[in-house]
Structure 1
Amino acid sequence: MSTSTPASVGGRRPYGRSATRVFISYRTGDEPFGAALIDTALCARLGPDAVFRAPRSIPPGENFADAILGAVRESSVLLAVIGPRWLGATGRDGEPRLRNPGDWVRRELLAAFHSGTRVVPVLLHANLPQEHELPPPLARLGSNQYLRLHHRYAPADLARLVDEVEGLLGDGPE
């Protein structure tokens, strides 16, 4: 594999070869508007190649699993967008999705923990899950400092979130 940066594909660089620095993790059935708002705000400040959100960032024909896990590993920050249905989401079998090893939110979080990516919960009309509410491999998420995004304060909350993330990346004002 070449280490040079390839040309963009449809305005997007193929996964694993971009300057991705922020990964947005969210559950599709749980307030996905929040992930889209966060993506838009971060892209406006950092540029679209620096922010990974699967629907926008994975080109057609790319391997989904490789793209997701590669982007998590190359990111400095993973934003875990948590809404009111995030913790209680169940699969077709009625079991909690976070307890399923194949659940993508779980896989993204575990990949971030294993690769040393900073995990920042972003709460959308939800409370931070407590450690005892999470499966043991994810329990540490319950002690991470979080940010909030509330619809009533969205402009201010988004501005703070972008400033905080930029500061974590070392791109903030000196």
Structure 2
Amino acid sequence: MRIFLNYRTIDSVYAVGQISKQMARHFGRVHVFRDQDSLSLGALYARRIRAALDESDVVVSVIGTHWLDARDKRGVRCIDNERDWVRMELRIAFERGIPVVPVLLDDTMLPVPDSLPDDIRGLTLSQGWRIRHQTLEDDIDGLIRRLTPGATKPGSSAGAQPAATQRNSATGHGIVVANQNGTQNVTLNDPRGR
């Protein structure tokens, strides 16, 4: 499993470092791409980012409270700029058919379709995961379990396909968030009652 971490530094630095660290421990450092950890000195940023996306099996897009409304020096939302790296990485992933998993931090809501540019609106239809500051390590472990190829969910037999009604439920820590047909569905199935 090769994972590309997509994030906006302004709102997710506390989580992305820990996500990267735990994923590297599980999947191996060379299989987790985070620009700060993975780019060598002198690397051509744009070329290396595109190459890393080409090699990725999944893009994990970490979304915090300022992800959508972060603004540039002119006061324009960064996400509205076609050259915004967060947007470009997501656009490339969707164009290439790479699955994108939105990871929502704390009480951040999944953006509604009308709040995003057309080329990345697929994000609002992607099944995601929630990570809370108070349970950070456990929630990241739950995400890793869900991303691990061949991993089975508690209570299911190996190779069994979950029923359609189970598609949006989390059986481990964390919360699975799905947004289908423009309506946000949040399924809370957390044994700790968060």
Q: State the TM-score bracket (shorter-chain normalisation).
A: 0.7 to 0.9
Supply the AA of the counterpart residue of 2:60: L
Cα deviation, residue 155, structure 1: 2.4
Query: After TM superposition, what 4+ stretches of structure 1 lie above 6 angstroms from structure 2?
Result: none
Mapped partners of 1:37, 1:140: distance in 2: 26
Q: How many residues align?
A: 152
Counterpart of 2:93?
A: 112
**1:78 has 2:53 as partner:** no
Distance between the aligned counterparts of 1:30 and 1:69, measured in 2? 23
- Bigger helix share: 1
Q: 1:171 offset after TM fit, Å?
A: 4.8
Match among 24, 27, 51 for residue 43 of structure 1: 24
Amino acid paired to 2:96: S
**Structure 1 counterpart of 2:37, which letter?**
R
**Greater relative contact order: 1 or 2 (C-alpha under 8 angstroms, separation 6 or more)?**
1
Q: Deviations over 1:3-25 (max 9, x none)?
A: xxxxxxxxxxxxxxxxx710001
Structure number with higher strand proportion: 2
Aligned partners of 1:72, 1:124: CA distance in 2, in Å? 23
8 Å contact kept, 2:94–2:122: no
Q: TM-score, normalised by structure 1?
A: 0.84
Which of 127, 139, 163 aligns to 2:121? It is 139
Q: In 2, are the aligned partners of 1:130 and 1:143 still within 8 Å (CA)?
A: no
Question: What RMSD, in angstroms, separates the aligned Cα atoms of the two structures?
Answer: 1.3
Mapping of 1:128-167 within 5 angstroms?
A: 128-166=110-148
Consecutive unaligned residues in structure 2, runs of 5 or more: 153-157, 159-194
Q: Which runs of 5+ in 1 are unaligned?
A: 1-19
Q: Look up the match of 1:12.
A: none
> Which amino acid letter does the alignment assign opposite residue 135 of structure 1?
P
Q: Distance in 1 between matches of 2:142 and 2:102?
A: 14
Query: Deviations 1:132-162 (Å, cap 9, x if unpaired)?
Result: 1111111111111110110111122111011
Task: Give distance in 1, aligned partners of 2:57 and 2:150.
Answer: 12
User: Aligned partners of 2:10 and 2:98: how far apart in 1?
Assistant: 25
Amino-acid identity (%): 34
